[in-house]
Amino acid sequence: MFLDGLADAFGLEGVAEVEIVDDDQIEARLVGEGLGLLIGPKGQTLAAVQDLSRAVVQRGPRRGSRLRVDVGGYQERRRAALVRFAQQVAQQVQDTGVPVSMEPMPAFDRKVVHDTVNTLAGVSSRSEGEDPRRQVLILPEDLAD
């Protein structure tokens, strides 16, 4: 598999696990210790690994499938931290009534924030700007469009 070969090329010990979630979604994980080199600062290298992995998948029989790649559990830890942070910001918006614009983030992270805010009463969210500077705005529900 591509991820196994990538780990080998970097001299890292990792084992790839692939899960077919449904007809159009695949989750691939590279599990092991010391995989930080494939994650990089703020997950930037992982984003590149995901892009490369997508290119490989698009050439095979699962063409058209959505692919999510996680290395060393980084994506899951990031997701959990984003959920906590989005809840804190949403609480701040509820308490103050003042909208808060979050830092620019990739589409996957924005979706986590939107999904989290959608479960909370009294607040809403929307994305603003253009990639790579696209960000989430969390606002009181009464100010939503």
**Which domains does the chain show, CATH number per domain?**
2-72 (3.30.300.20), 76-143 (3.30.1370.50)
Its pTM stands at 0.78
Residue pLDDT, tens place only, 109-122 = 999 999 999 999 99
List the beta bridge partners of residue 123: 140
Residue 67 clears pLDDT 90, i.e. is over it = no
State the pLDDT at residue 144.
63
User: 60: burial class by Cβ within 10 Å (0-12, 13-18, 19+)?
Assistant: exposed
Tokens standing for residue 11? 């001299």
Residue pLDDT, tens place only, 22-66 = 878 889 999 999 999 999 998 889 989 999 988 888 887 767 678
Residue 142 clears pLDDT 90, i.e. is over it = no
Report percent pLDDT > 70 for the chain: 97
